[in-house]
């Protein structure tokens, strides 16, 4: 499962949009120019909202089409080394489809994005990991965008999980030169009871358990990007992810490959 990607405004820190595991949202400029972007990320592990799906090397390609503030993204995860938690190896474990729209107004430098993302797991089988769909809305404060960019994203699962996940993110971008940029940020996710029950429903000892609403995962990340050519950028990411303690962390020990993880990767981004 991937982060929602809405390309555009924060181009100075392309690496923020390079890795589909962070749930860090990039803001669309809402322009009328049609843009196609292809990416290929090589990542040490597959981590999503604190859930370590694969401890081994994965490849995550994606392609995005955007025009008039609307973007359509196809993202995939390929388990290139060891098997993931569902036993899938040397195959595409996930293919996600995202449709997003940047609303054509702002309120005191606050931009708004809405959209829908469909998660598909072709190699895992519906009995193991059924497909599901989330609606999302994003509010991003751009008043101090050259120094710090806070955002809040609300995800609502309307299919299998039937739960709500909220992401709070703060990123600090820095343009080193015309070609090189870096950024550092922190984020935290909060799940309601239905969401946490769905993703952390296996307590210590293998017994099914009910999870309370609460903080879910915490992420500390650093990204860097370098523009090799006018339409080709290379980016790098390093992230430390940890889960909240208590029953969430205990359940993750039975379900996922790790309770916390340092992971990273490199990404090539090509604009057509």
Q: For the whole model, what pTM was predicted?
A: 0.88
Does 22 score more than 90 pLDDT? no
Residue 51 burial (CB < 10 Å; 0-12/13-18/19+)? Answer: buried
The CA distance from 22 to 194, in Å, is 22
Quick one: how far is CA 63 from the chain centroid? 15
Q: Is the pLDDT of residue 163 over 50?
A: yes
Q: Check residue 111 and give its pLDDT.
A: 94
For the chain, the average pLDDT equals 86
Do the strands 214-229 and 51-54 form a parallel or antiparallel pair, or are they unpaired? unpaired
Contacts of residue 124, Cβ cutoff 8 Å, sequence gap at least 6: 86, 88, 93, 94
Q: Is the pLDDT of residue 256 over 70?
A: yes
Give the position of tokens 């009871």. 193
Task: Give the SS3 label for residue 177.
Answer: coil
Calculate what percentage of the chain has a pLDDT beyond 70: 83
Using the predicted structure, report yes or no on whether residue 27 has a pLDDT greater than 70. Answer: no
Spatial distance between the Cα atoms of 16 and 223, rounded to a whole number of angstroms: 6
What pLDDT is recorded for position 209? 61
Structure tokens at 257: 């490959």
Q: Using alpha carbons, select from 128, 98, 127 the residue that is nearest to residue 113.
A: 98
Question: Which range (4-8, 34-38, 101-105, 236-240) has the least confidence?
Answer: 4-8
Tell me which residue of 212, 211, 127, 214 sits closest to 165, measured CA to CA.
214
Q: What distances in angstroms separate CA 183 from CA 46, 149, 228, one per listed residue?
A: 21, 10, 18
C-alpha Rg value of the chain to the nearest Å:
18
Residue 20 above 80 pLDDT?
A: no
Query: Does pLDDT of 83 surpass 70?
Result: yes
pLDDT at position 107, please?
82
**Token code pair at residue 178:** 């015309």
Q: Tens of pLDDT along 176-217?
A: 999 999 999 999 999 999 999 999 986 444 455 678 899 999
Domains identified in the chain and CATH numbers? 11-271 (2.40.160.40)
**CA 7/CA 193 separation, integer angstroms:** 31
Task: Give one DSSP letter per residue of 106-175, joined into a string.
Answer: ESSSEEEEEEEEEEE-TTT-TTTS--EEEEEEEEEE-TTTTT-EEEEEEEEE-SSS--EEEEEEEEEEEE
Residue 33: band (very low, low, confident or very high) from pLDDT cuts 50, 70, 90:
confident
SS3 237: strand
252, containing H or E segment: helix 247-255
User: Residue 105 has what pLDDT?
Assistant: 81
Residue 52 confidence (pLDDT) above 70: yes
Q: Is the pLDDT of residue 18 over 60?
A: no
Whole-number Å distance between alpha carbons of 6 and 23: 11
Q: How far is Cα 114 from Cα 242, in angstroms, rounded to an integer?
A: 27
| pLDDT recorded at residue 6 | 42
Question: How far apart, in Å, do the first and last CA atoms of the chain sit?
Answer: 26
């Amino acid at each position: 499962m991937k982060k929602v990607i809405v390309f555009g405004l924060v181009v100075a820190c392309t690496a923020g949009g390079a890795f589909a595991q962070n749930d860090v949202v990039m803001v669309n400029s809402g322009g009328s120019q049609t843009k196609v972007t292809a990416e290929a990320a090589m990542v040490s592990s597959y981590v999503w909202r604190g859930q370590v799906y694969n401890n081994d090397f994965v490849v995550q390609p994606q392609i995005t089409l955007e025009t008039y503030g609307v973007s359509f993204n196809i993202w995939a995860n390929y388990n290139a080394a060891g098997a993931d938690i569902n036993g899938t190896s040397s195959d595409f474990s996930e293919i996600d489809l995202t449709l997003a729209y940047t609303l054509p107004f702002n309120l005191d430098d606050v931009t708004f994005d809405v959209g829908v993302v469909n998660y598909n797991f072709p190699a895992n089988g519906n009995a193991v990991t059924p497909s599901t769909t989330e609606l999302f809305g994003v509010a991003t404060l751009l008043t101090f965008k050259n120094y710090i960019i806070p955002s809040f994203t609300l995800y609502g699962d309307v299919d299998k999980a039937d739960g709500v996940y909220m992401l709070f993110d703060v990123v600090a971008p820095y343009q080193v030169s015309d070609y090189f940029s870096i950024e550092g940020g922190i984020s935290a996710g909060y799940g309601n009871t239905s969401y946490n029950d769905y993703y952390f429903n296996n307590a210590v000892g293998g017994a099914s358990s009910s999870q309370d609403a609460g903080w879910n995962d915490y992420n500390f990340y650093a990204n860097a990007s370098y523009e090799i050519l006018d339409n080709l950028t290379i980016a790098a990411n390093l992230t430390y992810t940890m889960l909240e303690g208590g029953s969430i962390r205990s359940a993750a020990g039975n379900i996922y490959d790790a309770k916390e993880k340092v992971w990273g990767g490199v990404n090539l981004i090509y604009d057509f």
